[in-house]
Amino acid sequence: MTATKAVRKIPKRSPTRELAAAPTVVIRGAPPGYQWGWQRPEDPRMHLQSLHGDPPCKIWLEENGVRVFQPAATIPHKVLTALQVAMLGYRPLVESKWVRFMLDQSWLELQVALPHVTLVAYPRLPAEFTRKIHLRTWLTAEQLATLSSAIIVLDRETASLRLWSNRTEEQVPYDVRLATLLWQG
């Protein structure tokens, strides 16, 4: 009689799946022991939540397209003050990372009807808002004549609205930081 070994199959790890499930940490040590960022899946509204630190906390950073700093619940004064101070320097970074997250989640759409561009944040969700941009405020008539909807894109790498995406880096595409277009205040 031969012995049969039981073979346990170990599921293959998917780096993509693990990366998608990993939290995004944006601010560390405000106050010491705290890390701030967001999880996946997440609420479709810009915010930070404590990923490490006690008690758990959440701060809303936008409301209807307006920048805010609004605790979702009561937060100890020491924690709230430390995060407020940190946000003074980190807000542009947080917003750029959130824009990339929005693009990954399909929470940002671009509609082009030259000479207008419309950004739709959180489409078909309760937090939806839009920003209509008139390109004539930035560009001359001659520049607009060289632009088509095919070369206007949302660029994840730079977290920007990119005009003339067909240009090489040496020809310098026209990038506008999405966070400055999306959030007011």
Tell me the DSSP string of 23-57. Answer: PEEEEE-SSTT-EEEE-SS--SS-EEEEEESSS--
The answer on 85 and 33 residing in a single domain is yes
Rounded CA separation 85/67 (Å): 16
Mean pLDDT of 138-158: 95
Give the number of domains in the chain.
2
- CA–CA dist 24, 101 (Å, integer): 9
The domain boundary, picked from 77, 104, 131, lies at 104
**Residue where one domain finishes, among candidates 104, 120, 141:** 104
Q: Is residue 5 part of a domain?
A: no
Range of the domain at 44: 15-104
What does DSSP assign to residue 105? T
Confidence band of 1 (pLDDT split at 50, 70, 90): very low
Question: Can you give the pLDDT at residue 21?
Answer: 65
* Chain CA centroid to CA 167, Å: 25
pTM of the full predicted structure?
A: 0.85
Distance separating the N- and C-terminal Cα atoms of the chain: 79
